[in-house]
Amino acid sequence: MMQFLMNGGPIMVPLLACSVIVLTVVMERLMFWNRIDRNRNPKLVDDILESSRVGDWESVREKTRQSRDYIVQILVNGILHRQFSMIKARESAAAEEIRRMRRFMTILDTMITVAPLLGIFGTVLGIIQSFDVLGTTGIEHPEAVTAGIAQALITTATGLGIAIFTVFPYNYFNSRVEGAALSIEKYATSLEIVYGKLAGGKEDSGEAP
């Protein structure tokens, strides 16, 4: 491995840094989504909607006290501010959750672009070196020329390899964010519907929600 890095030339150093950054971000995001999955509680979400349908806010407070489910937290945030603006409170909490889910995604996106460019840069440097050696030694020493070509090929392959490896987790994490956003919208809409029916019923009966 060390010989491979040395043969690639100086551009292998930033490429190695890119690979370390990608691996670090991928591992962090995998652990993040693992925590998200472990904290999910669909049954509790359904219980919140049922309690909201009848206006049992004390039950909602008791059931959600220890929950770390992101959908539960968003719904509860809307419920707590129901007398002011449930929709805006819910949207604010949802935006914060989505921001957490998209954390470090720009780094992966950057690595997908930067790594191949660094590989191409190394290719250019290797070709320049090969022509420089060719102009100095002539064709009598082809091994000196092939060293520069090998450097060019190594950096290109490394840059492409990093980008290819990064594309798969990047698309996976993006799909998880999109799925979470759809789930948030689904349950938030359900909460608005049941609360709207509750508030409408109380207005009809002359009670304050």
Residue 139 CA to residue 155 CA, distance in Å, equals: 24
* E strands present in 13-131: none
Residue 89 CA to residue 66 CA, distance in Å, equals: 20
Residue 209 CA to residue 205 CA, distance in Å, equals: 11
pLDDT in tens, 100-133: 999 999 999 999 999 999 999 988 887 877 777 6
**pLDDT of res. 3:** 64
Contact 159, 12 (CB under 8 A): no
pLDDT in tens, 131-143: 776 666 555 666 6
DSSP 55: T
Token pair, residue 4, equals 């491979």
Token pair, residue 13, equals 């150093």
Is the pLDDT at 68 greater than 60? The verdict is: yes
Please provide residue 201's backbone torsions phi and psi, each rounded to the nearest 5 degrees. Answer: -65, -35
The closest alpha carbon to 9, from 101, 121, 103, 112, belongs to 121
Q: How many helices (H) and strands (E) does the chain have?
A: 8, 0
What percent of the chain has pLDDT above 70? Answer: 82
**pLDDT of res. 146:** 67
Q: What is the pTM of this model?
A: 0.83
Token pair, residue 144, equals 């000196």
Say which residues have a Cβ less than 8 Å from residue 148's Cβ, sequence separation at least 6.
126, 127, 128, 129, 130, 131, 132, 133
Is the pLDDT at 90 greater than 60? The verdict is: yes
